[in-house]
Chain A
């Protein structure tokens, strides 16, 4: 077995990106993800890559756009207000079908927000934070090992579908320290080259054009239809989730990311008290695993959705559950992280115990 190392979340994500063949990183500091650009500033020169600290998140995302046009693996990371600043560029990238990995280490909000962990950017990530008809693939890790694994997957999915992929973390995932095992290094020269469309020098061939736009509405609509076809392909193939102790469960907790992890402790504590609870944890927040959740909740006493926001994934949970089971919701906001005990108490209240 490969060696276990103790890492901070931001380092785990950075090193995983390097090993996935990412050699281009642009970023701007914002807590709680500052150690990620710092790590990349140290690591990129060591592996022959480029790190650039930009003057703002607006500059960052446009540099990511430019770098992605070359077909090489590129990543940026930021936290909530910074990701809001990037939205125009994200929309342009989705329109121009550019592969890139965007990490949002979510903090409190709205507005400036505090630097504590939160999940209030679910809607922004999954429903389109920028303008126009587009979708981003959204991956939500709940442990550092999963963060490492999902970074590799994020680059692969970005390349396969020519679409930006978000890794939606939060302050806990960014700052916690855990042991992980890193994968082997991918050789950047063996990665998809994208030479059918990327801008890599047009000598001796027809020019390539990377754009989100056509001035002829007939052509633009055709581009839109092609994007929609792609999003439907992603929806049919890329849904991912974790099921934990659901087989005999009477109650299903739905949660993602850090809360998904805390919910596992809730499942254990509830079972110690004789309440059969299981966990359904979406890993892809888009595409959301509606069908599987619908199947699972049939005949259950209760679905308890738990989030560190006002009830954002709750809307998708409702779309999935329909009238197959009653749904309750427990929330914390503003950077407050619930303990397993308080979630268990909320669950018992709902069950009338």
Chain B
């Protein structure tokens, strides 16, 4: 098991949901788990928007505190480096989408240690709906960060319209990508409202609860 984990991907790939759920997964084994909101792109629907909920669940949330929480500024708080370096904490880093979002990972590179880097892919998104699209997104992100991507994650989803067929199509496409760029698939994400035990799927399944929601 790595000490640090980072999730990268295009806009809307579902990095934040995967990162939060992964932190909660780590929490099952480890007492001390921190999640860093390193999203300098999205103005809301970020980890910090559900910080209180996550704190109640025992996670340490790392983001600019006080008034700066809502500032429209690309701030990475010093605490990010602290938790990435602190060997007592398992730390999950959630960065913003696209090449501008992933810059944060480049900036934190000296502190990442043996971090496991995963690229989250949603094939229902316009720019990652084909094998070529996914590979070009991968090349683009990797070029900016200058870092090795360890895993791919299949997060094929249409929000509340997600079906298990769509998820299976995501697996097929990611299998091809995985073969071409020689990066394994870590898991397939299944939202909690889909009742699947995993037999239908090729990769290990990872059940997630959705946190970024409008109650509407």
Inter-chain CA distance A7–B11, complex, in Å, is 9
Q: Judge whether A115 and B12 touch: CB under 8 Å.
A: no
In this assembly, does B43 line the interface, its C-beta being within 8 Å of a C-beta of chain A?
Answer: yes
In the complex, the chain B residue whose C-beta lies closest to that of A263 is B216
**Contact A15 to B126, CB < 8 A, known contacts A6-B12, A8-B12:** yes
Contact of A265 among B11, B159, B215 (CB under 8 A): B215
- List B residues 8-56 near A (Cβ within 8 Å): 11-12, 42-45
In this assembly, does B122 line the interface, its C-beta being within 8 Å of a C-beta of chain A?
Answer: yes
What 0/1 pattern do residues 151 to 191 of B give for CB contact below 8 A with A? Answer: 00000011111000000000000000000000000000000
Q: Judge whether A7 and B12 touch: CB under 8 Å.
A: yes
Q: Judge whether A7 and B159 touch: CB under 8 Å.
A: no
Q: Judge whether B44 and A177 touch: CB under 8 Å.
A: no
Inter-chain CA distance A258–B126, complex, in Å, is 24
Q: Judge whether B70 and A115 touch: CB under 8 Å.
A: yes
Q: Judge whether A114 and B159 touch: CB under 8 Å.
A: no
How many contacts A-B (CB < 8 Å)?
Answer: 67
Q: Range of interface residues on chain A?
A: 20 to 34
In this assembly, does A345 line the interface, its C-beta being within 8 Å of a C-beta of chain B?
Answer: no
Q: Judge whether A171 and B43 touch: CB under 8 Å.
A: yes
In this assembly, does B124 line the interface, its C-beta being within 8 Å of a C-beta of chain A?
Answer: yes
In this assembly, does A4 line the interface, its C-beta being within 8 Å of a C-beta of chain B?
Answer: yes
Min Cβ gap A196→B in Å is 38
**Contact A175 to B124, CB < 8 A, known contacts A6-B157, A31-B72:** no
**Contact A339 to B70, CB < 8 A, known contacts A5-B125, A6-B122, A32-B44:** no
Q: Judge whether A179 and B159 touch: CB under 8 Å.
A: yes
Contact of B124 among A5, A176, A340 (CB under 8 A): A5
Inter-chain CA distance A172–B216, complex, in Å, is 11
In this assembly, does A57 line the interface, its C-beta being within 8 Å of a C-beta of chain B?
Answer: no
In this assembly, does A168 line the interface, its C-beta being within 8 Å of a C-beta of chain B?
Answer: no
* Chain A residues whose CB sits within 8 angstroms of the CB of B214 once the complex forms: 172, 176, 262, 337
Min Cβ gap B106→A in Å is 20
In this assembly, does B129 line the interface, its C-beta being within 8 Å of a C-beta of chain A?
Answer: yes
Q: Judge whether A175 and B44 touch: CB under 8 Å.
A: yes
Q: Judge whether A115 and B124 touch: CB under 8 Å.
A: no
Inter-chain CA distance A115–B73, complex, in Å, is 11
Q: Judge whether B43 and A340 touch: CB under 8 Å.
A: no
Contact of B43 among A11, A175, A261 (CB under 8 A): A175
Min Cβ gap B164→A in Å is 15
Q: Judge whether A5 and B43 touch: CB under 8 Å.
A: no
Q: Judge whether A175 and B125 touch: CB under 8 Å.
A: no
Min Cβ gap A64→B in Å is 24
Inter-chain CA distance A32–B214, complex, in Å, is 16
In the complex, the chain B residue whose C-beta lies closest to that of A178 is B159
Q: Judge whether A4 and B161 touch: CB under 8 Å.
A: yes
Which 5 interchain pairs have the tightest Cβ spacing?
A179-B158, A6-B124, A32-B43, A262-B216, A115-B43
For the A-B complex with A6-B157, A116-B70 known, give 4 more contacts whose Cβ atoms are closer than 8 Å.
A7-B125, A116-B43, A179-B161, A262-B214
A residues engaging B (CB < 8 A)?
A: 4-8, 11, 15, 31-32, 35, 114-116, 171-172, 175-179, 258, 261-262, 264-265, 337, 339-341
**Interface pairs (11), CB distance under 8 Å:** A5-B125, A5-B126, A6-B124, A6-B159, A11-B11, A31-B43, A32-B44, A35-B11, A116-B44, A116-B70, A265-B215
